[in-house]
């Protein structure tokens, strides 16, 4: 995934803001990207689930490399330069790399909370072992190293859970879904590619039509 990191920073250096999103993410509605510019943060992240597990075990949450919005600004470029620096030998797992920078390099000062993973934080209430206690609420802050501002979208807006359809479908405020690990009873049996494609229809029928 190092190619995606280098392309991202090249686009930002060209003065272009960029939405980075995996092709298997499913958009539920149109959200104008200029709204993120008007809101004013430099980098917007979505919550991931628990990977990389070592960082999740330390922090209680991780961010997703497969969906984020980056403003072209000097502060964002300083952030991306740290990301590129951690992508050693020109080859790396971007999910691991982004989280290493996020948790080990940025020294984020959060707005209104000491840490997003605080005792009173809202969490996914389920007995599902992969989804249980995942953080839900949006948080904002600023890196004391790069001075870039940060927002993590709430999990309802940028939805990512394992299975959990239809019982944990998001609200009408949802922008996109990143469904994974759906049961064969929903997608039908098949290989990974078949199930990924089938997930689009499952999402539309179970989480969009019923809203």
The pLDDT tens digits of the residues spanning 51-102 come to 999 999 999 999 999 999 999 999 999 999 999 999 977 789 999 999 999 9
pLDDT of res. 199: 86
* pTM, entire model: 0.94
Residues 6+ apart with CB under 8 A from 196: 24
Q: Structure tokens of 11?
A: 């686009």
CA 69 to mean position of chain CA atoms: 10
pLDDT at residue 210 tops 60: no
pLDDT at residue 45 tops 70: yes
pLDDT at residue 211 tops 70: no
pLDDT at residue 1 tops 70: no
Is the preceding peptide bond at 166 cis, omega within 30 degrees of 0?
yes
Angle between helices 74-86 and 2-13 (to 10 degrees): 160
Question: What is the percent of the chain with per-residue pLDDT over 90, rounded to a whole number?
Answer: 75
């Amino acid at each position: 995934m190092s190619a995606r990191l280098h392309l991202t920073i090249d686009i930002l250096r060209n003065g272009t803001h960029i939405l980075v999103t995996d092709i298997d993410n499913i958009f539920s509605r149109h959200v104008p990207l200029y709204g993120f510019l008007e809101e004013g943060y430099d980098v917007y992240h979505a919550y991931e689930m628990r990977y990389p597990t070592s960082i999740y075990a330390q922090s209680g949450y991780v961010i997703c490399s497969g969906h984020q919005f980056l403003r072209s600004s000097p502060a964002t470029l300083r952030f991306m330069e740290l990301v590129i620096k951690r992508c050693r030998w020109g080859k790396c797992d971007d999910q691991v790399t982004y989280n290493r920078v996020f948790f080990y390099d940025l020294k984020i000062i959060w707005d209104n909370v000491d840490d997003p993973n605080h005792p009173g934080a809202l969490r996914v209430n389920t007995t599902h072992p992969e989804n249980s206690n995942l953080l839900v609420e949006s948080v904002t802050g600023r890196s004391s190293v790069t001075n870039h501002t940060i927002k993590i979208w709430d999990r309802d807006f940028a939805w990512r859970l394992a299975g959990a359809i239809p019982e944990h479908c998001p609200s009408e405020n949802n922008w996109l879904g990143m469904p994974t690990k759906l049961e064969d009873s929903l997608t039908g049996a098949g290989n990974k590619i078949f199930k990924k494609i089938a997930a689009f229809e499952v999402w539309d029928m179970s989480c969009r039509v019923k809203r």
